[in-house]
Amino acid sequence: MAENTTQASNTSNTNSNPPKVELRHRAPMGQEVEKPKNLWDTIKRLMNYFVRSKYLLIGLLLAVLAVTLLSLVTPALQGEAIDAITERAWQKFGTVLVVLLAAFILSSLASLAQTLLAARLSQSIVRHMRYDLFKKIDRLPIAYLDQHSNGDVMSRMTNDIENVSNTVSQSLGSLISGVLTVIGTIAIMFWYCWQLTLITMVTVILTVFVTKKMSTMMRKVYRRRATALGKLNGHSEEMISGYRTVLAYNRQERTKREFNAMSDELTKEGIRAEILGGSMGPLMNAISTLGFVIVAAFGGYFALEGMITIGVISAFIIYAKQFSRPINEIAQLYGSVQTAVAGAERVFELLDQPDEDNSGTETIVNMKGNVSFRHVNFSYLPGKQVLYDFNLEVKSGQKIALVGATGSGKTTVVNLLMRFYPVDSGEILIDGKNIMDLQRDWLRHNTAIVLQDTVLFSDTIENNIKYGNPDADDETVVRAAETSNCAHFINRLRNGYQTVLKQAGASLSHGQRQLLNIARAVIADPKILILDEATSSVDTRTEQGIQDALVKLMKNRTSLIIAHRLSTIQDADVIVVMDQGRVVETGTHDELLEKQGAYYSLYMAQFAGNAT
């Protein structure tokens, strides 16, 4: 298990298909939302990013305050205008109209400023969060990436931060404005007529009750629809990716019946969800209309009694609508705020991970490449040991092959040498110095790995080769390509070394991609070379070309080779046979065959055609 885990971290993690990332938008009212574990702690920490953009935040708050105050003033001004008409005070009416027009213009400008500042603030926060997160990912230990999928890490970088951005740009201003509007509206309504205000509260209580009930019902329906959609998507993906198998076994009709059944289920749940979701608006409008009737009826009675004026009734109608609107908005924004805070919490969880061990300050002048493993014990998980008292001496320039069944600990040896993991006990020495005392970056600069799964980037061929040495000149790049036997196919490409690889070199054969990886190792000019199943996934003819390139690469270098194909390591200076984390045999190919032990069994299993 440990060996498979580590191989995944070092190979397939960087070369696997891009993970499917599902973008999460603001959930409608009642729909299932992601909730944070520690709401207030996360909000406090998130505020540090707001402080970094404090001037934008202050500007946004001022714009929101201006919009809110103007929205509270305009109904009162409209009431004043109506009262001026009933009193036939035309001069007062003209003055109120001018003030009202100015208020509308200022409100529009403040709303525009609010939108622009919210967008700028959200992007500023996202920029800071992504910078911190990417910088953190660059320092993460391999162990973290072993335990978390690529999709999970990418989701934190994209979806979770995007949720924060959407909430800041679309919801923050509305949330603050809504709270201020509710407080200001209640105060003004009580100041005008406390009796009519209390009567109006009936519709508010009704709104809250209906919203709560509808949200509960909608949450259940949305959950069922999401489940049905997940089943349909999963079935579709399986059938499309396995289309050849479907055709080969003539299962088209059954596949269509299964798809139609799932599609029908999704249609039914979708209709229910749309009906419930679509009914929320009409219900809120009905309650709002009821509030209008209540204000009009009781307001008319109070006006006849001389308690209020007609203008106040008009203002009250507007305030009643203005009061219920932000309550509905806050209820709808609750889900998006929860999702955003949950996303920020996931980002902070990653930021809180410990950095990769960067201890060690020494380097080796005129490094020879002698490697020693002395009494090394190691386990990925407590209680599940992988290596037991592992000892190995590799002299400068030697070619050492590690062989054994899957899970025997071969790749673990490489991971420990590269300081991807620290040993539990024992020590690993290079030229007599403990690797934990050496600079980590220096150690990896002098070590190169060629993996089974090729890792290329969507860049030019030249830059992919120079990944091993960014300072290399064009002549060095060409020399590395010639040494690795890939110059011939590069020169046949229209743009040669400037050819841009699409989809990480998907247009190249696996053998060609592997040769480019070898060229990258050549240009790095390492003292220690590690080959981890470098030829196991290619055909025999391609393997021969890669082997020729590897022979040139290994010349005068200390080489550790992990191989399942025993034909590729017969010329190794020493073959180390491993089994369940222990060294069980060492020797040359001929010596081990003469012993007729573990290596002999592996050899005969491969070349006699027996099952391995």
* Tokens encoding 517: 């990886």
Which of 509 and 20 is assigned the larger pLDDT?
A: 509
Q: What is each CA distance from 104 to 60, 147, 170, 189, in whole angstroms?
A: 19, 56, 22, 21
Output the pLDDT for position 332: 66
Structure confidence at residue 28 as a pLDDT band (50, 70, 90): very low
Residue 216 identity (one-letter amino acid): T
Asked which of 49-58, 233-242, 332-341, 456-465 is least confident by mean pLDDT, the reply is: 332-341
Residue 323 identity (one-letter amino acid): F
Asked which of 64-78, 266-280, 536-550 is least confident by mean pLDDT, the reply is: 536-550
- Given strand 384-394, what is the order of strands in its sheet? 384-394, 371-381, 425-430, 433-434
Closest CA relative to residue 364, chosen from 434, 469, 427: 434
Residue 61 identity (one-letter amino acid): L
Question: Bridge partners of 399?
Answer: 559
Asked which of 5-9, 212-216, 459-463 is least confident by mean pLDDT, the reply is: 5-9
Q: What is the largest CA-CA distance in the chain?
A: 119
**Three-state DSSP class for 579?**
strand
SS3 readout for 454-493: CCCCCCEHHHHHHHHCCCCCHHHHHHHHHHCCCHHHHHHC
Residue 511 · residue 542 · CB < 8 Å:
yes
* Tokens encoding 261: 């059944």
Residue 341 · residue 36 · CB < 8 Å:
yes
Does 322 have pLDDT greater than 80?
Answer: no
Please give the sequence-ordered ranges of beta strands (E in DSSP) within 395-526, or none if there are none: 399-404, 425-430, 433-434, 447-451
Percent of the chain beyond pLDDT 90? 8
Closest CA relative to residue 485, chosen from 530, 535, 532: 535
Cα gap 316→319, rounded to integer Å: 5
Instruction: State the virtual CA torsion across 253, 259, 262, 266 in degrees, nearest 10.
Output: -140
| pLDDT one-digit tens code per residue, 354-377 | 888 888 888 888 888 899 999 999
Output the pLDDT for position 539: 61
Residue 565 · residue 574 · CB < 8 Å:
no
Burial class (CB in 10 A: 0-12, 13-18, 19+), 435: buried
Cα gap 329→211, rounded to integer Å: 11
Distance of CA 399 to the CA centre of its chain: 40
Cα gap 304→463, rounded to integer Å: 85
Residue 244 identity (one-letter amino acid): R
Asked which of 55-69, 197-211, 530-544 is least confident by mean pLDDT, the reply is: 530-544
Residues sharing a CB contact under 8 Å with residue 591, sequence separation 6 or more, in sequence order: none
Output the pLDDT for position 281: 73
Output the pLDDT for position 224: 82
Structure confidence at residue 10 as a pLDDT band (50, 70, 90): very low
Give the Cβ contact number of residue 67 at 10 Å.
24
Number of Cα atoms under 13 Å in the Cβ half of residue 493: 19
* Tokens encoding 250: 């003539």
Q: What is each CA distance from 55 to 51, 67, 174, 226, 570, in whole angstroms?
A: 8, 18, 19, 41, 69
Question: Bridge partners of 534?
Answer: none
Please give the sequence-ordered ranges of beta strands (E in DSSP) within 405-518, or none if there are none: 425-430, 433-434, 447-451
SS3 readout for 360-392: CCECCCCCCCCEEEEEEEEEEECCEEEEEEEEE
Residue 416 · residue 393 · CB < 8 Å:
no
Cα gap 443→192, rounded to integer Å: 78
Does the global pTM surpass 0.85? no
Does 334 have pLDDT greater than 80?
Answer: no
Structure confidence at residue 29 as a pLDDT band (50, 70, 90): very low
Q: Angle between the 540-554 and 474-483 helix axes, to the nearest 10 degrees?
A: 130
| pLDDT one-digit tens code per residue, 105-164 | 998 998 899 889 988 888 888 888 889 988 888 888 888 887 877 777 887 888 788 888
Output the pLDDT for position 118: 87
Does 459 have pLDDT greater than 90?
Answer: no
Q: What is each CA distance from 443 to 418, 449, 524, in whole angstroms?
A: 7, 12, 13
Question: Bridge partners of 583?
Answer: 578
Does 80 have pLDDT greater than 70?
Answer: yes
Cα gap 63→177, rounded to integer Å: 10
Output the pLDDT for position 428: 93
Which of 585 and 29 is assigned the larger pLDDT?
A: 585
pLDDT mean across residues, the chain: 80
Q: What is the mean pLDDT of residues 179-190?
A: 82
Residue 203 · residue 287 · CB < 8 Å:
yes
* Tokens encoding 304: 């006849």
Would strands 528-532 and 447-451 be described as parallel, antiparallel, or unpaired? Answer: parallel
**Which residue, chain included where needed, has tokens 């040669």?**
496
Which of 309 and 434 is assigned the larger pLDDT?
A: 434
Structure confidence at residue 5 as a pLDDT band (50, 70, 90): very low
Percent of the chain beyond pLDDT 70? 90
Would strands 574-579 and 582-587 be described as parallel, antiparallel, or unpaired? Answer: antiparallel
Closest CA relative to residue 86, chosen from 345, 312, 302, 240: 312
Output the pLDDT for position 2: 39
Residue 182 · residue 64 · CB < 8 Å:
no
Output the pLDDT for position 513: 85
Does 3 have pLDDT greater than 50?
Answer: no
Does 85 have pLDDT greater than 90?
Answer: no
| pLDDT one-digit tens code per residue, 529-583 | 888 876 665 566 666 777 777 777 788 888 888 877 777 788 888 999 998 888 8
Structure confidence at residue 33 as a pLDDT band (50, 70, 90): low
**Which residue, chain included where needed, has tokens 């309550």?**
327
| pLDDT one-digit tens code per residue, 278-317 | 787 788 778 777 877 887 788 777 777 777 777 777 777 7
Which of 429 and 338 is assigned the larger pLDDT?
A: 429
Question: Bridge partners of 373?
Answer: 392, 428
